[in-house]
């Protein structure tokens, strides 16, 4: 069998630069989606692919070894160069040999297989929302609009060591493999992707139509698409540059990086670790605090303020001295009178009600019970 390739990367309609990158180095095909301020994302995705391509050309190790080397290269650059500190990249790559595609994957770019009328996602997104879907916390629908849908749990270059997903996929003639960045899958549905792939026989046309559809849906991110057709025959056909398929040659003459002393680097690394932990803890507190406040706003009770019956929002408790409620309305009903009634002995501890309206009803009840009690007392001899 032979492979025919279509490829296109596009900045999209919103981003200023294209931080995606791809490599077509038969039998190696890869996409990378970089992230990190300023030029960080661009540097990360290109450096990662450049490292993989160089190692592949030199025949050094397996594809996963090459990806781990790319991780170390991006991490080293990120640690050494303040301008690209904290950068990272996804990487999804396939090496086709014989009748097998060997896939490696880190991040939220994806590989799909179109076979016999079905489109199957081969890779697993290393994202927070994907984990939340798996634990049943949210649905796929909710994930698509989740505010943290871009949070990656794994990416190249952010840690000195990385776990790389690997799998072998047996290929059949007529199969179509798709490698793409989330600028495609974040904009159009899998049904739309499948419809375009099925309606477009030429792989380069398919890549172009997919990018066009993502842009048509908003193009809020960089979009990169590689379409690999598995065809009968022996020749591995290189992509045709006249049709937009470009072989990404590794950038010549990478910028010279001055390496700080090992000790300084370790110190910096420890400092970064500590900072990450502190930020994580602060975020967790902020999230918990926001959730608690939102919940407290839904709680109501009737209690005592300044020796008068009052309506509170929150719960009648305090945590480490922090009041979890506040007075919304103080009535003119003396607390002592209400507490003397048969049903309101617990007023000082707070009587829980479901809504603000229920609180008003409860206050009205106290008022009318008091009047009744007075009338009864007046009528008594």
* Residue ranges in contact with Mn ion by CB under 5 A: 33, 181-183, 221
Measured from the CB atom, is 183 or 350 closer to Mn ion? 183
Strand 20-25 relative to strand 100-106, pairing: unpaired
Which DSSP symbol is given to 146?
A: -
| Minimum CB distance to Mn ion, residue 155 (Å) | 11
Using DSSP's 3-state secondary structure scheme, residue 196 falls into helix
Measured from the CB atom, is 42 or 175 closer to Mn ion? 42
| Minimum CB distance to Mn ion, residue 285 (Å) | 29
Rounded CA separation 174/136 (Å): 36
| Minimum CB distance to Mn ion, residue 69 (Å) | 23
10 Å Cβ neighbour count for 129? 23
Measured from the CB atom, is 77 or 110 closer to Mn ion? 110
What is the H or E stretch that residue 227 is in? strand 223-231
Rounded CA separation 205/223 (Å): 15
| Minimum CB distance to Mn ion, residue 181 (Å) | 5
| Minimum CB distance to Mn ion, residue 68 (Å) | 22
Measured from the CB atom, is 127 or 325 closer to Mn ion? 127
Measured from the CB atom, is 33 or 229 closer to Mn ion? 33
Answer for the pair 113, 197: CB distance below 8 angstroms, yes or no: no
| Minimum CB distance to Mn ion, residue 221 (Å) | 4
Give Dmax (Cα) for the chain: 113
Measured from the CB atom, is 102 or 154 closer to Mn ion? 154
**Residue 110's closest CA among 169, 46, 177?**
177
Q: What is the DSSP string of 274-295?
A: HHHHHHHHHHHHHHHHHHHHHH
């Amino acid at each position: 069998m032979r492979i025919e390739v279509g490829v296109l990367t596009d900045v999209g309609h919103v981003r200023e630069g294209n931080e995606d990158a791809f490599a077509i180095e038969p039998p190696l095909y890869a996409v990378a989606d970089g992230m990190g301020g300023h030029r960080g994302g661009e540097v990360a995705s290109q450096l990662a692919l450049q490292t993989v391509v160089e190692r592949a050309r030199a025949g050094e190790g397996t594809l996963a070894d090459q990806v781990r080397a790319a991780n170390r290269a991006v991490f080293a650059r990120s640690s050494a160069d303040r301008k690209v500190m904290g950068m990272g990249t996804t990487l999804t790559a396939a090496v086709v040999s014989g009748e097998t595609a060997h896939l490696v994957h880190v991040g939220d770019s994806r590989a799909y297989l179109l076979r016999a009328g079905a489109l199957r996602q081969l890779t697993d997104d290393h994202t927070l929302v994907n984990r939340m879907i798996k634990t049943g916390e949210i649905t796929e629908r909710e994930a698509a609009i989740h505010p943290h849908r871009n949070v990656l749990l794994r990416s190249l270059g952010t840690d000195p060591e990385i776990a790389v997903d690997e799998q072998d996929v047996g290929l059949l003639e007529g199969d179509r493999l798709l490698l793409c960045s989330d600028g495609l899958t974040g904009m159009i549905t899998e049904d739309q992707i499948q419809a375009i792939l099925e309606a477009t026989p030429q792989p380069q046309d398919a890549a172009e139509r997919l990018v066009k559809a993502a842009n048509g849906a908003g193009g809020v991110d960089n979009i990169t698409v590689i379409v690999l057709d598995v065809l009968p025959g022996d020749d591995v056909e290189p992509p045709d540059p006249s049709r937009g398929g470009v072989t990404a040659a590794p950038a010549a003459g990478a910028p010279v990086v001055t390496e700080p002393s090992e000790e300084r680097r370790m110190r910096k690394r420890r400092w970064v670790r500590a900072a990450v932990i502190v930020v994580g803890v602060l975020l967790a507190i902020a999230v918990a605090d926001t959730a608690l406040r939102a919940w407290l706003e839904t709680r109501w009770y009737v209690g005592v303020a300044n020796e008068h019956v009052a309506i509170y929002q929150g719960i009648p408790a305090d945590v480490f001295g922090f009041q979890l409620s506040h007075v919304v309305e103080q009535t003119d009903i003396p607390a002592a009178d209400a507490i003397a009634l048969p049903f309101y002995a617990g007023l000082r501890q707070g009587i829980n009600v479901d809504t603000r309206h229920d609180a008003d009803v409860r206050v009205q009840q106290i008022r009318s019970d008091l009047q009744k009690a007075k009338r009864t007392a007046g009528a008594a001899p």
